[in-house]
Chain A
Amino acid sequence: MEIEKQYDQIARCNRCGFCQVACPIFRATGHETGVARGRIALLRAIVEGRLEWDRTLEEPLFACLLCGACTANCFPAVGTADLILDARSQYLDQVGRNKLHKLLFTHLLPHPKRLRLAARAVALGKRTRLSDIARALGMLRIFGRDFPRAEEIVDRFPERAFRDSDEPRVVQGTGDLRLGYFVGCGTDILCPQVAEATLGILCEIAATVEIMPNCCCGLPPMSYGDQAAARELAAKNLRLFADGRFDFIVTDCSSCASFLKKYPSLFPEDDPRHDSARGWAAAVRDFPELVASTASGSPSRPMETEEVIATYHDPCHASRGQGIVRQPRELLRSLPGVEYRELPEADWCCGGAGSYALSHYDLSRKVLDRKIDAVERTGANLLVTSCPACIVQLSYGLRKRALPVRVCHIAEVIG
């Protein structure tokens, strides 16, 4: 929706400034354009005719992590992240869009096979140092302003993705449920070991687990402001659920889970896809949510002999996106031989935020540094979370600091 139509929502910001307390970007920059109050003020200035759509708005609109911490600290609960998404969309229409993103969103993300192929090319590039050459030639810049520096965030690109075909694969388990396993792009390509662990646990609670041939959930284009592309991806995925053959659709990526639950909002109510999106959303479960709710007894696999001190990072899309806070902590506390320590500012964004680092490397690093400082203070040697983007980002931060902390998806820890 155009932001002009959201004047009421915008006017609810009474400029108290409390959003500043938990905004990771504001804490890093200290600049008012980097916080909800400032961003809303800019939108208000557009609505009231003091500002026009032009390039000066790019940074304020696109430097937002969309983590939602502002809304959680906002008295009238202004939904800044949603306003920013709409504003980005309008910005792209008015000021222009990046052709490469168009390519990515319409030709790559809808097709898991092509995406895997592209990933293999990158993996090959990294191993053969081709990417160094590309960087030297400045070629990588086309992927994003800061891509050349951000490229090292992913340490090693797995040679093979978790899924190797576009056909559904059904695995038999020992439980009762019929599950669809929605494999997020990040899990599939960057963290196949997480997918293996997830599958193992799902098989304990399900009679059948279908590894779905889904494409991207649509969150990346949505975040970028390309709502049409996001809708297309969602529609494509919805078709996989048409016959309602699953009790639950489970994913081990909290970002995907959060967005999958929002599918109904992508389609107007008179669109037939709206209803199927509602059925879909009702079936979607984030991994920790499902595991905690299926009382299959607490997992009791003994940990390694070394002393394990675990802490937990809340992905934004788990805590604020879905209200999943209690479950992962209970799971971790129930593990034998593991000491759980709460992470200060556990629900602060790590700065991963999808592909944020590709365009805002320095800001992303500052946000990450604060997170890693907090991790260091806990003295933990195991950092658990439930989103592949967070895993990649947190691993990068720990690697840069050479801290002896392992980052794991919660599926890897309890499996």
Chain B
Amino acid sequence: MPIVQAISERFTTSERDHYTKRLFAERTTTMGAVNMIDADLLRRLNQIVGRQHVSAGRADAEVYSYDASLAVAAPDAVVFPADTRQTADVVRAATRARVPYVPRGFGTNLSGGSVARRGGLVVGLSRLNRVLEVNPAGRYAVVQSGVTNLELQETLAPAGLFYAPDPASQKVATLGGNVGENSGGPHCLKYGVTSNHVLGLTVVLPGGEIVQAGGPALDPPGYDLRGVLIGSEGTLGIVTELVLRILPSPEAVITMLAVYDDHGAAARSVSAVIAAGIVPATLEMMDSTVIRAVEDSKPCGYPRDAAAVLIVEVDGPVAGLKHQAEQIRWICMSNGCREVREAKDAAQRNLLWSGRRGAFGAIARLAPSFLVADCTVPRTELPKALAQVAAIAERHRLAHGNVFHAGDGNLHPLLLFDSRNPEQVTRVHQAGDEIMRACVDLGGTISGEHGVGMEKIEAMRMIFSDHELDFQRALRRAFDPDDLLNPGKITPPDDGAAGVGLAGQAAGFRVQGPGLQDELTPVDVAEACDIVRRACRDGVVLLPVGGGSQLDSGVDSTPRPVLLRSTGLCSTIEYDPANQVIAAGSGTSLAVLGEVLAEHGQWLPVRPPGGGHRTLGGLTASGSSGPARLRYGTPRDLLLGLKFVSGTGEPIAAGGRVVKNVAGYDLTRLMTGSAGTLGFITQLTFRVSAMPECCTAVEASGSFDRCAAAAAELIQSKLEPTLVIAVPDRAELKADGNVAWRLIAGFEGFRETVDSQAAGCREIVDRVGLDVRPRREYQAKSGPCGEFFGLLQRSPFRVKANLPLDKVAGFVTDGEALPHEAAVLVDFGCGRILAGTESLTDEAWHRFCKTSHQAAGHAVLEKAPTEFIKQHDPFGTPDPSWQLMRRIKAVLDPHNVFAPDRVPKMK
């Protein structure tokens, strides 16, 4: 009975001393001894935030020396800025004094991320605690980073809205912290994690510069900075404000408890449910240890003799939901389930959930301390992973329990121990390491949602090569050249194994082979690496190319660089239909991939302009998406991992093949939309999904105002359209004059749901006074608006405005914003306006940019003749974040070998 032992064990004084010393091994001094903060800095901090908001006493050091992990290190002072400006001033002061600083929300980090490992300053963000704006029509909210997840939910709920990520710590975890860790939660199975729901960030960069990374309008030009910052665990910048996507809360919820006599059967049911094309909102699993602990502390009706239970919840439109629940019941029962209970009302649902929510608590009563491990494996490997966790815990004589996000393959083994017993602490750490290793060997990763921080820093070497770690260090250097922001986290120290490091490789390349021709098509990664190295040697510029559809996309491409084609890398590398994951070469076209997937009734839900000819690499590098993004997201939301050849000719892997992965910096998102400027993408791993059973377009025509009104209502309703667009109702899509418009709303999914949704949509358009047309079914692969994109693609000039959703209609009716005689497509669902014209005057482009900018959006020149591009800035109105992008480019591509002109710069 290790649990009882753990409680009853008593410790000698010497053991206690030993533990105390271990706790402070990182920094043997607390404040007052060797203090990094000198009188000058302290005075400056007092000036900036006010004396009462600087804490520098011994007690302060003690209570800011920990977070919710086992990591401990005392800071020298804690400072609480009131706003972005003060935060920047504090950072500037610390930088000048060369003192490390660490951002901290409410200190619930589970990997030591908020602990001041090298001492210095803790920047407490608890005063940044205001919800600044809730904009239901724009589907976004603006909050300060010290607002807790639950506070935001409570602000949104009365308006029938919610913010999807719901980490278990949502009561106390701040949204800034959620961003740092890229938090998930039970509902991320259906809705995705934090990075799928953050639209923009206000960030104080190391050094004190303030930049906006994104905002309510999608796709700002250049690199996806917010994507890189999310999950960076407070090592790249301090987030002070967030723009978050908010959604209408679902119309109905059905919660079920599936009871099993064997936890393998429970794990199999999880895969089977997902494989059937159902996307439950949650799929949570608890094992017998946890079930009994819960029933012992606060009974909620779980059968005490069960080996495992699943909490399965489906949510969404009422129509079709019961059918989904029935299907789930059937799948569970045919996978060895004892019984499936359905919550009859809200009270029963709360009771079922109270056990899950109280699970950590129930376990916590069994022993003084517990370690929550956090690893992810492919869903189908869950039975193996659980068996290995049990074996490891037993080997280290540790009691354990499992309560976890089964649908995501995200394990949370809880290991019980007593933190006062050094020997037990050692065993727990060993077991934690072995669990990580086991999950990595099963194709998983070392952290699904709790981060690397300080506790998993050495485990980074389990999953990344020395070159890959070097690349990550380089990225960090681009943000923080002085290594003062949260040092000693995420990236393990460079042990020299990768050679001279990225920056040092500028010295020269010893590569064989002739000079490069105009166009190259490597057939494998080794050849691609060789080409890049030769390009570095010869000072040649490479332009990665897939299908070639973006060749003339808004960049000045003279002198013509050498084209590096991905079309030689066109094989499907791995397809795991049960886990809904596919890995393929970057030269694979969407059409070819689609054929492979169709054999299993699956698809990659992207329908970018350009259609099936687009390659996966090109699609990703350009970050393209069509209007169905409203429902399915973009490549950035669907990519699990990718591989590329870096600017120094090294193969680099980013991400992996599991749906939740927060190990290291999110290079996958950095590469997505980087337009071939940071590397040559060779392979991509996507999450795919079941092909929708039915696709229907509701179409209606009438004035633009009525179309816009219907679109606005649709977007704020409980309906779940896949896309909402409008085009002028004539063949060439010309918007001039008093022309009628056509509104198109697509619905995709199970037939019963789609039918009811389409009916609901028709009611809305009818009420607004539009003429409803006969219903039209379409193919999932092609979508309902391919023809319009074809027409726009052919125009010599193509411009795009990305706008907050609530600013789209105003932009169109402005009358001055759109170029005359333009063919127009208005994407209400994604806040985009595409326009193609035969000609574009300077003034028209300038107006387009200005109006976009004024509406808190941005304009991009997607296509124009070279002469025009030479004289204009294709990336619209300049932004301060462009400087940072250029630093990233300079560090990661030190020889400037990849497409230098495609990084936004002030002309």
Interface residues in chain A, defined as those with a beta carbon under 8 Å from any beta carbon in chain B: 7-8, 11-12, 14-18, 20-21, 29-33, 37-38, 41-42, 45, 48-51, 56-57, 60, 73-77
The residue in chain B whose Cβ has the minimal distance to the Cβ of A21 is: B171
User: Which residues of chain B have C-beta atoms less than 8 A from A56's C-beta?
Assistant: 57-59
Is there an interface contact between B80 and A30, defined as CB atoms closer than 8 Å? yes
Q: What string of 1s and 0s marks CB contacts (under 8 Å) between B132-161 and chain A?
A: 000000000000001010100000000000
Question: How many angstroms from the CA of A12 to the CA of B62 in the assembled complex?
Answer: 18
Is there an interface contact between A51 and B369, defined as CB atoms closer than 8 Å? no
In B328-373, the 8 Å CB interface with A consists of 358, 360-365, 368-370
Nearest CB of chain B from residue A341's CB, rounded to whole Å: 14
Given A17-B68, A17-B108; A11-B368 close (CB under 8 Å):
yes
Question: How many angstroms from the CA of A29 to the CA of B124 in the assembled complex?
Answer: 11
Choose from B20, B171, B362 the contact partner of A50 (Cβ within 8 Å): B20
Choose from A8, A30, A38, A48 the contact partner of B124 (Cβ within 8 Å): A30
Is there an interface contact between A30 and B420, defined as CB atoms closer than 8 Å? no
User: Which residues of chain A have C-beta atoms less than 8 A from B360's C-beta?
Assistant: 16, 75
User: Which residues of chain A have C-beta atoms less than 8 A from B571's C-beta?
Assistant: none
Q: What string of 1s and 0s marks CB contacts (under 8 Å) between B41-72 and chain A?
A: 00000000000000101111011111110000
User: Which residues of chain B have C-beta atoms less than 8 A from A16's C-beta?
Assistant: 68, 108, 169, 360, 364
Given A16-B360, A21-B150, A76-B364; A42-B63 close (CB under 8 Å):
yes
Q: Does B16 contact A (CB under 8 A)?
A: yes
Is there an interface contact between B169 and A18, defined as CB atoms closer than 8 Å? yes
Q: What string of 1s and 0s marks CB contacts (under 8 Å) between B399-419 and chain A?
A: 000000000000000000011
Choose from A14, A41, A60 the contact partner of B364 (Cβ within 8 Å): A14
Question: How many angstroms from the CA of A12 to the CA of B370 in the assembled complex?
Answer: 10
In B791-844, the 8 Å CB interface with A consists of none
Is there an interface contact between A41 and B62, defined as CB atoms closer than 8 Å? yes
The residue in chain B whose Cβ has the minimal distance to the Cβ of A41 is: B63
Nearest CB of chain B from residue A403's CB, rounded to whole Å: 22
Nearest CB of chain B from residue A12's CB, rounded to whole Å: 5
Number of interface residues of B (CB under 8 A): 46
The residue in chain B whose Cβ has the minimal distance to the Cβ of A20 is: B172
Is there an interface contact between A38 and B63, defined as CB atoms closer than 8 Å? yes
Is there an interface contact between B370 and A45, defined as CB atoms closer than 8 Å? no
Choose from A15, A51, A74 the contact partner of B58 (Cβ within 8 Å): A51
Question: How many angstroms from the CA of A238 to the CA of B801 in the assembled complex?
Answer: 79
User: Which residues of chain B have C-beta atoms less than 8 A from A8's C-beta?
Assistant: 7, 368
Is there an interface contact between B364 and A15, defined as CB atoms closer than 8 Å? no
User: Which residues of chain B have C-beta atoms less than 8 A from A51's C-beta?
Assistant: 58-59, 62
Given A51-B58, A56-B58; A18-B171 close (CB under 8 Å):
yes
Q: Which of A7, A14, A41 has the most CB of B within 10 A?
A: A14
Q: Which 8 A-B pairs have the closest CB atoms?
A: A30-B126, A75-B361, A38-B63, A75-B364, A32-B63, A21-B171, A17-B108, A76-B364
In B78-124, the 8 Å CB interface with A consists of 80, 106-108, 124
Q: Does B30 contact A (CB under 8 A)?
A: yes
Question: How many angstroms from the CA of A45 to the CA of B7 in the assembled complex?
Answer: 20
User: Which residues of chain B have C-beta atoms less than 8 A from A11's C-beta?
Assistant: 368-369, 418-420
Choose from B68, B107, B129 the contact partner of A32 (Cβ within 8 Å): B107
User: Which residues of chain A have C-beta atoms less than 8 A from B190's C-beta?
Assistant: none
Question: How many angstroms from the CA of A77 to the CA of B64 in the assembled complex?
Answer: 22
User: Which residues of chain B have C-beta atoms less than 8 A from A74's C-beta?
Assistant: 361
Question: How many angstroms from the CA of A17 to the CA of B17 in the assembled complex?
Answer: 25
Nearest CB of chain B from residue A40's CB, rounded to whole Å: 9
Is there an interface contact between A48 and B150, defined as CB atoms closer than 8 Å? no
Q: Which of A7, A18, A29 has the most CB of B within 10 A?
A: A18
Question: How many angstroms from the CA of A41 to the CA of B68 in the assembled complex?
Answer: 12
The residue in chain A whose Cβ has the minimal distance to the Cβ of B370 is: A14
Is there an interface contact between A20 and B361, defined as CB atoms closer than 8 Å? no
Nearest CB of chain A from residue B400's CB, rounded to whole Å: 15
User: Which residues of chain B have C-beta atoms less than 8 A from A77's C-beta?
Assistant: 365
Question: How many angstroms from the CA of A21 to the CA of B108 in the assembled complex?
Answer: 11
Question: How many angstroms from the CA of A14 to the CA of B67 in the assembled complex?
Answer: 10
Is there an interface contact between A15 and B67, defined as CB atoms closer than 8 Å? yes
Extra contacts, 10 of them, besides A12-B364, A48-B20, A50-B30 (Cβ < 8 A), are: A11-B419, A12-B368, A14-B369, A17-B67, A30-B127, A42-B63, A50-B24, A50-B62, A51-B62, A75-B363
Nearest CB of chain B from residue A137's CB, rounded to whole Å: 27
Nearest CB of chain B from residue A142's CB, rounded to whole Å: 25
The residue in chain A whose Cβ has the minimal distance to the Cβ of B59 is: A56
Choose from A14, A15, A29, A42 the contact partner of B62 (Cβ within 8 Å): A42
The residue in chain B whose Cβ has the minimal distance to the Cβ of A75 is: B361
Is there an interface contact between B66 and A41, defined as CB atoms closer than 8 Å? yes
Question: How many angstroms from the CA of A11 to the CA of B146 in the assembled complex?
Answer: 28
Question: How many angstroms from the CA of A388 to the CA of B791 in the assembled complex?
Answer: 76
Choose from B60, B106, B361 the contact partner of A33 (Cβ within 8 Å): B60
User: Which residues of chain B have C-beta atoms less than 8 A from A21's C-beta?
Assistant: 148, 150, 171-172
Nearest CB of chain B from residue A247's CB, rounded to whole Å: 34
User: Which residues of chain B have C-beta atoms less than 8 A from A75's C-beta?
Assistant: 358, 360-365
Is there an interface contact between B66 and A15, defined as CB atoms closer than 8 Å? yes
Nearest CB of chain B from residue A49's CB, rounded to whole Å: 7
User: Which residues of chain B have C-beta atoms less than 8 A from A32's C-beta?
Assistant: 60, 63-64, 107
The residue in chain A whose Cβ has the minimal distance to the Cβ of B420 is: A11
User: Which residues of chain A have C-beta atoms less than 8 A from B30's C-beta?
Assistant: 50
Nearest CB of chain A from residue B550's CB, rounded to whole Å: 47
Nearest CB of chain A from residue B724's CB, rounded to whole Å: 35
Is there an interface contact between B369 and A31, defined as CB atoms closer than 8 Å? no
Is there an interface contact between A57 and B361, defined as CB atoms closer than 8 Å? no
The residue in chain B whose Cβ has the minimal distance to the Cβ of A38 is: B63
In B176-220, the 8 Å CB interface with A consists of none
Choose from B16, B63, B64 the contact partner of A48 (Cβ within 8 Å): B16
Is there an interface contact between A57 and B59, defined as CB atoms closer than 8 Å? yes
User: Which residues of chain A have C-beta atoms less than 8 A from B62's C-beta?
Assistant: 41-42, 45, 50-51
User: Which residues of chain A have C-beta atoms less than 8 A from B127's C-beta?
Assistant: 30
Is there an interface contact between A17 and B106, defined as CB atoms closer than 8 Å? yes
Question: 23 A-B contacts, Cβ less than 8 Å apart?
Answer: A11-B419, A11-B420, A14-B364, A15-B66, A16-B68, A16-B360, A17-B169, A18-B108, A18-B172, A20-B172, A30-B126, A33-B60, A33-B63, A37-B63, A41-B65, A42-B63, A48-B19, A49-B20, A51-B58, A51-B62, A76-B361, A76-B364, A76-B365
Question: How many angstroms from the CA of A29 to the CA of B107 in the assembled complex?
Answer: 15
Is there an interface contact between A15 and B68, defined as CB atoms closer than 8 Å? yes
Question: How many angstroms from the CA of A30 to the CA of B129 in the assembled complex?
Answer: 9
Question: How many angstroms from the CA of A151 to the CA of B24 in the assembled complex?
Answer: 46
Nearest CB of chain A from residue B275's CB, rounded to whole Å: 35
Nearest CB of chain B from residue A92's CB, rounded to whole Å: 18
User: Which residues of chain B have C-beta atoms less than 8 A from A45's C-beta?
Assistant: 62
Q: Which of A8, A49, A76 has the most CB of B within 10 A?
A: A76
Nearest CB of chain A from residue B290's CB, rounded to whole Å: 13
Question: How many angstroms from the CA of A256 to the CA of B361 in the assembled complex?
Answer: 31
User: Which residues of chain A have C-beta atoms less than 8 A from B58's C-beta?
Assistant: 51, 56
Choose from B24, B126, B365, B420 the contact partner of A31 (Cβ within 8 Å): B126
Question: How many angstroms from the CA of A76 to the CA of B129 in the assembled complex?
Answer: 28
Nearest CB of chain B from residue A404's CB, rounded to whole Å: 24
User: Which residues of chain A have C-beta atoms less than 8 A from B19's C-beta?
Assistant: 48
The residue in chain A whose Cβ has the minimal distance to the Cβ of B369 is: A14
The residue in chain B whose Cβ has the minimal distance to the Cβ of A362 is: B52
Q: Which of B55, B66, B124, B418 has the most CB of A within 10 A?
A: B66
Q: What string of 1s and 0s marks CB contacts (under 8 Å) between B1-42 and chain A?
A: 000000100000000110110001000001000000000000
User: Which residues of chain B have C-beta atoms less than 8 A from A38's C-beta?
Assistant: 63
Question: How many angstroms from the CA of A51 to the CA of B63 in the assembled complex?
Answer: 11
Question: How many angstroms from the CA of A12 to the CA of B363 in the assembled complex?
Answer: 12
Nearest CB of chain A from residue B113's CB, rounded to whole Å: 13
Question: How many angstroms from the CA of A42 to the CA of B63 in the assembled complex?
Answer: 7
Choose from A20, A42, A49, A73 the contact partner of B106 (Cβ within 8 Å): A20
User: Which residues of chain B have C-beta atoms less than 8 A from A15's C-beta?
Assistant: 66-68
In B598-653, the 8 Å CB interface with A consists of none
User: Which residues of chain A have C-beta atoms less than 8 A from B150's C-beta?
Assistant: 21
Question: How many angstroms from the CA of A42 to the CA of B62 in the assembled complex?
Answer: 7
Q: Which of A8, A17, A51, A60 has the most CB of B within 10 A?
A: A17
